[in-house]
Every structure is written in C-alpha cells, then in structure tokens.
Amino acid sequence: MAGRAALLISALMSRSSAPVTQAVILAGGQATRLRPYTDTRPKAMVEVDGRAIIDYQLEWLAGHGVEHVVVSCGYLADVLRDHLGARTEGPATTLLVEDEPLGRGGALRFAASGLRDPEAPYFALNGDIITWFPLDAFTTYHRGQGGLATLALAQYRTTYGIVEVGDTGRIDGFVQSPLLPHWINAGVYLFEPGITELLPAKGDHESSTFPALAAEGRLFGYRIEGFWRGVDTVKDVKEATEQVRALTGAAGGAPAG
C-alpha cells in the first residue's frame, strides 16, 4: 500500500513539472471589424506581413514544446482546414468545427474536448493576437501560484495622444499612444484540466467562469514582458505589419520569446 502511494506521489510530482505540450486556439467568429479581410477567410487567417496570424501562433507554440493544437472554428472553416492541412512544420493540429456560434467560453470548452490528454494542463489562445513571450516562465509562474487558471496580461497602450499639462495649466508636451499603468487580458491562458467543466457550454467565460474563479482565489494574472499585439480592425492589420516587420527584420524570423 505504501509503495503504491509513493508511486502515485512520484507520478503526480513528475506531471506537475512536465512541460505543457497541448493548446487550443479560438479561430471562430466573423470578425466584422476586420472586413474586407474576413470576407473570404476567418480572422485567424488574416495576413500580417504576408503570414496568417495562426502561423505566427503555431510557430510560437512549437518553439516552446507544444506538440498538439486544437483549433476551434465555425466561420469559413474550409479555408482554415485547407491551410492547416498544407502545413508541413510545427505542431500537429486538429480542427473542430462549431455547428453554431458558441461564444468564447463555449468555444473553449468545445476545443478542449479535442485535446489528446484531457487530464493535462493546456494553453489557450484567442485567434486574433500575435505575441512573443517566454511560455516556460509563464508556466513556472502558474504552477507557483497553484491556481486553476492564469491569464497573460499585456500593458494597455492607449490609441489617443496624451497631453502633458502642469498645475498652472501650461501644456508641457504631447505623448502619442503611450503605455498606461493598467493591464488587459492578452488572450493567452494556461488552464488546469479542471477548468474545462467549469466553462459554459455557450456564452462568455469572462462574465461567468472567470469572475467565479477570482472570487474563490483560483485565478491569477501574469504580466508579460515581450511583444503583444491584438488584431481586431483593419487599422490594426497595418500597424501590426509594421511592428512585426520591425521586430523580425527582412529574414522574417520570429524574435526570441
């Protein structure tokens, strides 16, 4: 009996230190603010500097040891299916097609049903972000907190110019689109397997599951240091292209992180 308990404890400790090797990507939704780009493709297939958003994500995940990615999609799923089927590098992918819109929380739960190991933790990504930060550090932080879920947080950059004004009312200067001392959900998560059953079958997890976990002290945030960019509008595509090009250079390789 004691020997069996020791083996169980050893297995649990080994698993708790093992790398996270699976992920889900939410690629559904019509992304109307990205039209005309999304007239013929889902948002994860919108190109930034000549590459689909999902290709940046898969490359980043593969670089951190992720071996299998489940992609949840509904709108124009065949475009994504053909693209993923033609890939020859990166992690293995499984495409799950929603029969009806499930909302982000429902899509997460649906995507998790396709994971190879439902008893192991997994990363989750929104399909409209490009980011580079060290997932190993993210994982270490998550495990150290002992929560059920950890959100990556990006520092908020306002789209407005800030006017610097003194006590006398004299304007001292202007700062265009500065970073503000606030943090937003970056659309990258690390989930313990127990969260899946807490996600709604339909609806949004940010108005249901996350507030409940926060109230219980089981939800944590990790402030990322690295590049992060949401791609939600046509303007974002142009700006993201300029930023990615500046970071990757002419060779087109992803920066470290």
Per-residue pLDDT at 182: 83
Per-residue pLDDT at 164: 85
pLDDT, one tens digit per residue, over 95-109 is 999 888 888 899 999
Calculate mean pLDDT across residues 67-90. 90
69, 214, 30, 100: CA torsion to nearest 10 = 80
Per-residue pLDDT at 25: 96
**Domains of the chain, earliest start first:** 20-248 (3.90.550.10)
Per-residue pLDDT at 40: 78
Residue 35 in this model has a pLDDT that exceeds 50: yes
Residue 24 in this model has a pLDDT that exceeds 90: yes
Question: What is the rounded CA–CA span in Å between residue 8 and residue 177?
Answer: 53
Q: What is the DSSP string of 128-197?
A: TEEEE--HHHHHHHHHHHT-SEEEEEEEEE-SSEEEEE-TTS-EEEEEES-EEEEEEEEEEEEE-GGGGG
Per-residue pLDDT at 7: 40
Per-residue pLDDT at 257: 64
Q: With cut-offs at 50, 70 and 90, classify the pLDDT of residue 157.
A: confident
Per-residue pLDDT at 176: 74
The CA-based diameter of the chain, rounded to the nearest angstrom, is 78
Question: What is the rounded CA–CA span in Å between residue 126 and residue 254?
Answer: 19
CB 76 within 8 A of CB 70: no
Residue 15 in this model has a pLDDT that exceeds 60: no
Residue 7: both structure tokens together:
């083996």
Question: What is the rounded CA–CA span in Å between residue 154 and residue 187?
Answer: 9
Burial of 202-221, coded b for 16+ CB within 10 Å and e otherwise, reads ebbbeeebbeebeeeebbbb
pLDDT, one tens digit per residue, over 212-230 is 999 999 999 999 988 999 8
